[in-house]
Structure formats: structure tokens, C-alpha cells
Structure 1
Amino acid sequence: MPLDAATRDFLARPGLSRLWTTARTRLERAALQPTGTIRLQSLDSEEREALSLLLARPITGATATIRIPDLDARLRATAVGRGLAATLTALGPPLVDRRAARDAATAERTRHRTEAEATLAATALNDQPWAHSWLAENHRTTTRATITQAIRTLSHLFPAPGTDGAPGPWGRGDLATLTTGSAHGLDDDTPLARLVLRGIALAHGTDPPTDAPTRRALWRTAGVTPDEVSSTVLTYALRPTGPTWQEAALRERADHHLETHLTLRELRTLPLELAPGTHVHVCENPRVLEAAADSARTTPLVCTSGSAATVVLTLLDTLAASGCTFAYHGDFDWPGITLANRVIGRYDARPWRMRAQDYEYLATRTRLRGIPPLPLTGPRVEADWDPELGSLMEALGVALHEEAALELLLEDLAQD
């Protein structure tokens, strides 16, 4: 039953708040049983008065020691008419038997582990020592459904010798559908994908993957083909020197001033040996590459399309390994500077019209042309290649997309 208004008002007075807070902690730790004592120190006058009224004895000093069984009996004998646990529940929030909660959690973990071990034992993984180590490492931090799906997935990748379930090749979407019912069940960064990859790494004695390329490599090690066709990198005027039909096709598209989208799948097998010392320009926005094609420029271009995705870095890594050098241009905003830092730092690229004087000139020209300014927002990012650029951008407060420099960039491409 709820407390009547007068009793609630009395119990809820500020002078008793420390008592109830401490009592709640003690009861929750003692399986909700009224045992032990409460010692309140540094009592102020309001607390002494409230405690005196509640306990029906004078509290005059700065410290009060209260036996919890006595407090429980006192509450039952007064207008409160209920014990300490019921009183605290009425005042709210509900009490939690922490000991029981811990016991329940321990029992649940035990059930979880037992069920997971039984699931593992029913598969060929039971004969794999690494599988038991993997389960011991991960079952506590993984939901029951996810660990079950992971065991099911790994059992398809590591079947018993001589069975029909030979490993791979699997499409990742097909494998995900088979084990989870969803083609996206093993997408990157899902808990299930991370758990399965940890198992594959353990099986092959390697470290868990730390980035997209190592994730894909590990999937392929287990006979799983990740999606390598949906993500592309936009290129222009790449002229590899080899004799294959793929290289000939790239040269022909370059001759006709056509852009080319390359997938990760193509990059895994495409020879990309360019002429020694080829200088490749890298831009952030597709409009720059489009304008270069429209004006029949012949300088090789790679577009990051706003972010250096894995497919972009894979291409640039390949070109760098073949001896290409790079120049980079992007947006004059904080995300643009972040991306520029990444590309310039990774490939020792030359900043391409990306210095403080270039920004100041473009900002001034934009203003004189009457173009509405685009506010620069977000936290400041320092340009690793030019210590003055960040300060100047912050001072002017104007963001400039790459298209603001389009005429200048096309002039540069005509001269290279």
C-alpha cells in the first residue's frame, strides 16, 4: 500500500535523505535483510532534528550510530506501519537484491557457457583445440544468439574431414544467409563478423584483423569471398604499360578521355605498372576529374570521392609500389584537411594548391565575385604540411570546396 501523504512528507524530508541512502545500500548488499549498523557523521542541525523525531530519542552530537534492526522495528511500530525494506520501496525506487542479482547473473553465465559448449560439441569444431580457446575467450562478452551463430558459421568453414561440407569458396552474403537468415549478417563491424574473424585468426595462428584489407585477406584465407565489387575508385587517364587486355582497355579509355571505375576485385588482378616516375594527381571531388575529362587533359587522376575508402587506398598503394609519385588537392574545410593529412602523409604527396596562400587567394577571389560565403564549422584541424593554414582558415572562417579552385587545377593539369 502507498504511504499516506503526511507520512511520506515526514519521511521524505531532507534531514533523512542520508539515512535512507545509506540504508538502501546496506539492505541491497545484505539480501534485503535488516542487519548491521549505520553510522552517520558530520550531522547538521536539520539531520539531528529529523533523526530525533524518527527514532524517538535525542540525537545531539555530530555522529549517530543506528542499528538497522532497531530502525526496522521502529518503522513497524509507528504510523509508517511497515519494515525498512517496505519503507524504502514505498519511497522509491524499488530495492535490488544485489546478492541475488549476482547469483542469477552467475547462473546465467554458466547456462550460457554450458549451452555454447553443447552447441560446439555437436559440430566438427569440437575436435579443434583452437575452437575451445576461442569459446572460452568470447562467451562471456557475447550474447547467446551471436555465439550460436558464430559456432554455426565457423562449423561451415572448418568441417570435419571427409564430409560434404568442404570449405569454400563461399560468398560472404551466401554464408551469412545460411547461418543468420540475412545476407548482411556478416557485414563488417557487426558483432558476429568480428567474432567469426577472431575464430578464423585463432585457427590460422594469426592476429585478429585491424583494418579492412586484413579483414578481407582473413576472409579469403577461410575460403570466403567478401564483397569486392560494390565499392569503386574513380580514375582517369591511367596508362599501364603491360600487354594484358585489362591494361589495353585502360589505355583505350584514356585515349578517348573517359573515366574508369575500378573495383577491389579488379585491383586484385589488374597489373598497374605505369611508366617510371609517373606523377599522379589526386583530387577529392568527382567534378575535378569530370572537368579534366571534358577538357581532354592527359594527366593521370585519381578521385577519393570525399573519403579515402579501402578501394582508393588499395589503388594508391599499388601505384606507389610501381614508383608513381602524387600531388593532392581537396576541400578547404576541416574534414578536407583531415583527409589531406591522411593522403599526403601516407604517400608523401605534394600539396597541390593546398597551402595558406592558395586558400587566402581563393577566399578573396570568391568574395570579390560575390559568391555567398560558406561558413567554416567544426573543430579545427592542423594541416601537417603547412602550419599556417589552420590558423588562416580559422581567422577567415570560410570553407572552400574544391570546385572553387577548378580553373587553376585544370591549368596545372594542362602543364603536367
Structure 2
Amino acid sequence: MADVSEQVRADVRTAWGGEPLRGFWERAREALESPKRPDRFSAELPDERTRAAVSEVYGRELYLGHSRIMLAKLDRVLRSDPRFELDLAQVLEILHGRPVASPDADAPEPESSDPALAALSAHGLDRARWARPWARWLHQYGRVSETELAGFTARAAAVLAALALDPATTPVQWVSRSDLAAPDAPHELDDGGTLSRIVLRAAALAHDVEPPGGARERQALWERCGVAVNDVAGTVLSWALPLTGDDSWSRSITGRTELGLPTHLTHRDLVAAPERLVERGVVVAVCENPRVLEAAVRAGIRHPLVCLSGHPSTVALALLRRLHANGARLRYHGDFDWTGVTIARSLWSEHEVGLWRMSAADYREAVDLAARDRSDLPNLVGTPVETPWDPQLAELMSTASRAVEEETVLPALLADLRDAALS
């Protein structure tokens, strides 16, 4: 870049080298140097100062939280800036003092004595396929000083050793993020902290996913690693669970049932619960919509029921896993839309949950009934999802192009619950 004068370099650093844009430029460099060659990256905009600075550079008003930045658009905006007329790679070279590396270039491998690898070695993680890429990232983009690196990587390695990092498996046990934090630093893994950021980078590399760009994506990645963001906020709604224990916890839950009250269970509840919840062979219904559970309660139907309220939370999956381990027979029903089918497929294939009124014949019957009653069904939108338990279901749903919500078939579901006939 010999043709760029020192004055222009100085002006670029003055205009775009401030702290609010530091993370933005680092993520842009990561995207350009990534072997995956993405066409965009996620910019974190945690405060108004950062949001305003990134919006000005990008030439478009962005919102707090995080935004997707198109590399081609960013490059075009920078080239058209009359002050400098530099492309993105040139800007990054000026700001970082080094050229943008080709995605195909071999980055220097960390030595075995590297603090990050040494910390991972203490937990047997140094030979994981993501270990060296993580160490390289720490030195290039981790924003951790050399004097603090050993301390942060030691804590990060201890946390990573407790996570589920195999992308081919789903977590079998859950831990609260608060329990992973050091006793003298209970907030060290909160969003926005250095430790949380570098742990999640390793988790993203391990699971081969993009680094999280906002609070929702961070929570999803924590949960993918078997971590509940906390152990009290997330709940799963339950009704009439036939608990076998005579302990105070079991009595409190069954007492609520006697009063006609459903129970929102948290991770902390499951930790306090006895090992055995129900007798082997008991059939537990699982629904997607709280309206089904509400209707069962109002009708005085005491069939055990768990409501997921949409995609299952970590605590919902933990409860289903406990019930299955006790020998309960789980039967799921959800909406006949692509979201409901996605949930059904995941529960059926990954969590050994049987399905209840989720066949092609059930869908056809519901659509025909709506037609006879002249009831309007919502349009079926979204990307089709295969239904391996009944391949005809996905084909029929795509052809009919109508969604059937659980409320539409509520009388049939209540009849099944009343008669204990779930199939």
C-alpha cells in the first residue's frame, strides 16, 4: 500500500480507529480471512455510541443489539467515501498495521507452550480440533493483554471442560451458567464479559457454527453446550404428574394438582426433585400449545401433561429426559406447521419421544373437518421439513398448504387425554 500517503493513513486512524469501532473492524477482518468466505458478518452494537459509529461507517441506520453487515456493501461504501476512497482490506491494513491474510494462507501455529494450549492441556482439551484455531484467534482478535492471557485461558479451559462440545451429540445433563462461574466471581460469564466472549468463541469453533452475534444467539449456543443461562428463569409447564415420592418436593407438586393448579418447573426444581419421578410405563402427554394444558385443567382431566410452549427449552428437555429415564412413555402432539413438525422430528429422532395424532391421516382428517365446518385454516408458510416417521405427512402438508393449530383439534386431543388413548 505504498501509494497511500502517511497523511491519509493518519486521517483514517483518526476517523475510524476509535474504541467504538474496534470490535466492528475485528469482525470484518475475521470474515475476510475466514476459509469459509462468508458474504456477511454479525456486528455487536451493545450501546448507543457503538451503534452510531457503525451506522455512520456503514451508511445505514442500524439498531442496538446486533446487525448483519454485508461485506460487499461495506467495501462499496468505503470505496465511495470521498475522503479516502480505500477498499475494506486497505482500511483494515491501516487500522491494524498488517495486511489482510488470504483465507488460504497458513496462519502461524501456536507453540505447545502457548498459554491457551497449556490451559487446555490441563483438562485434556489441547488436542481437540478447535484448540489451535481458538489459540490463534485469541492472539489475533481476543482483546486480552499478554499479562492477562494466562489467567483468562485457565478459567476458560476450566469452563470448557464442563461443556458439551461434541456437535454430534446432544447434552444429557444441564448445568447453570451461574454454577460454572467461580465462587468469588459469580458474574464472570455474564454477557459482555471477556471470559464469556472467549468461551463462546471456543464453543462456536467446536460446534462449527458462526460466532453468536446477539443475546438470543449466545443463549442458543450456551444451551447447545448443555448450559442453562440461569436455573430459575426458564420453566416448563406441567400438569398432573403422578409423582411417586412422599418427600416434601413431591407433595408440593401433587398438592398443586389437587388444587387444580399447573406447575412451572425450573432447573432448580429438577435439581431438588427425587431421582425417580414417576412409575415405569406411565404415559405422559407432551403438547406444544399452553391452550391444550389449560383446557385439560378446566375440564378436570388428570392425565399427566407437559407443555413445551413452542420450541423446547433446556428445562423442558431435562424434564423429558428424566421422565424417559424413569421408564415413562412420552407422546407428543404439536401444530401441523413446519415449526411444529420440526419440534416433533427433533423429539422423535433425538429424544425418543413417541408421536400422538401426528400422522398424514390425522392431518388429512383435521383439514377435511375444517372444510366441512367451513373453518378457515392459516396458510402454511416456511421451508418444508421432512417427516421420517410418516413421509406422506410432509408431502400432504405441502400439497394442502394449510396449517392446523392444536386448538383446531382440541376436542379430539381432550378426548384422548380423558380416555388415556394417546397414539
TM-score by length of 1: 0.57
Q: Is 2:203–2:221's contact at 8 Å kept on the other side of the alignment?
A: no
Whether contact under 8 Å (1:279, 1:325) holds in the other structure is yes
Offset of 1:234 from its aligned partner?
1.0
Equivalent pairs counted in the alignment come to 289
Counterpart check, 1:290 vs 2:294: yes
Matches within 5 A, 1:95-244: 104-105=98-99, 137-142=133-138, 143-148=140-145, 151-155=150-154, 171=181, 175=185, 177=187, 183-185=190-192, 191-195=197-201, 215-216=225-226, 227-244=230-247
TM-superposed CA distance for 1:384, in Å, is 1.8
Distance 1:301 1:326 in 2: 9
Q: Is the 2:223–2:314 Cα contact (8 Å) retained in structure 1? A: yes
In the alignment, which of 368, 378, 382 is matched to residue 378 of structure 1? 382
Is 1:343 paired with 2:347? yes
- The 3 A distance-change label for structure 1 pair 95 and 279 is closer
Aligned residue among 262, 270, 285 for 1:259:
262
Q: 1:397 to 1:136 in 2, by over 3 A?
A: closer
Residue type of the partner of 1:248?
R
Aligned equivalent of 1:362: 366
Q: In 2, distance between residues paired with 1:395 and 1:139?
A: 50
Shift of 1:376: 0.7
Residue type of the alignment partner of 1:362: A
Separation (CA, whole Å) in 1 of partners of 2:293 and 2:378: 23
For the residue of structure 2 that corresponds to 1:373, the secondary structure is coil
Once residues 243 and 404 of structure 2 are traced to their aligned partners in structure 1, the CA distance between those partners, rounded to angstroms, is: 34
Q: Give the conservation status (yes or no) of the 8 Å contact 1:242–1:273.
A: yes
Q: Which residue of 2 aligns with 1:5?
A: none
Relative to structure 1, the CA distance from residue 155 to residue 95 in structure 2 (aligned partners, 3 Å threshold; closer, same or farther) is closer
CA distance in 1, matches of 2:121, 2:347: 46
**Cα deviation, residue 255, structure 1:** 2.0
Give how far 1:137 is off: 4.8
- Pair 279,170 (structure 1): closer, same or farther in 2 beyond 3 Å: closer
Higher-helix-fraction structure: 1
Extract unaligned runs of 5+ from structure 1.
1-91, 160-167, 200-209, 218-224
Q: How does 1:371-410 map to 2 (within 5 A)?
A: 371-410=375-414
Specify whether residues 252 and 193 from structure 1 end up closer, same or farther in structure 2 by C-alpha distance, changes over 3 A only: same
Task: Compute the displacement of 1:296 (Å).
Answer: 1.1
Which structure has the bigger radius of gyration? 1
Deviates more, 1:129-138 or 1:406-415: 129-138
How far off is 1:172 after superposition?
A: 7.4
1:192 offset after TM fit, Å?
Answer: 2.0
SS in 2 for 1:274: coil
Change in CA separation of 1:147 and 1:245 when aligned onto 2, cut-off 3 Å: same
Separation in structure 2 between the aligned mates of residue 384 and residue 336 of structure 1, nearest angstrom: 14
Counterpart-to-counterpart distance in 2, 1:302 and 1:384: 24
Change (3 A) 1:146 1:309: farther
Distance 1:187 1:254 in 2: 45
CA 1:173 to 1:352, structure 2 compared with 1: closer, same or farther past 3 Å? Answer: farther
Residue identity over aligned pairs, in percent, reads 30
| 1:252-305 residue CA offsets vs partner (Å, 9 max, x unmatched) | 122222111111122133124312210000101111111111111111001111
- Aligned-pair CA distance for 1:361: 1.9
Checking the alignment, whether the CA contact within 8 Å between 1:337 and 1:381 is kept in structure 2 is: yes
Structure-2-length-normalised TM-score:
0.56
Query: Deviation digits for residues 340-385 of structure 1, max 9, x if unmatched?
Result: 1111233444421222222122112223333333111122222222
Cα RMSD of the aligned pairs, angstroms, is 4.6
Q: CA deviation at 1:333?
A: 0.7
- Which residue does 1:313 correspond to in 2? 317
Q: CA deviation at 1:131?
A: 9.9
Cα distance per residue 1:175-199 (max 9 Å; x no partner): 47558xxx313699x6422357799
Shift of 1:127: 11
How many Å apart are 1:212 and its aligned residue?
5.4
The runs of 5 or more residues in structure 2 that have no matched partner are 1-84, 159-177, 206-219
**Counterparts of 1:366 and 1:150, CA distance in 2:** 63
Give the 3-state SS of the residue equivalent to 1:227 in structure 2.
coil
| Secondary structure at the counterpart of residue 244 of structure 2 | coil
The 2-side partners of 1:155 and 1:351 are apart by 45
1:138 CA drift (Å): 2.5
- Distance in 1 (CA, whole Å) between partners of 2:284 and 2:306 is 7
Matched, 1:274 2:278: yes
Per the alignment, residue 327 of structure 2 pairs with: 323
1:407 to partner: Cα distance: 0.9
Residues 240 and 254 of structure 2 are in contact (CA less than 8 Å); yes or no, is this contact kept in structure 1?
Answer: yes
**1:172–1:229 CA distance, 2 compared to 1 (3 A):** farther
Amino acid of the structure 2 residue aligned with 1:194: L
- SS where residue 104 of structure 1 aligns? coil
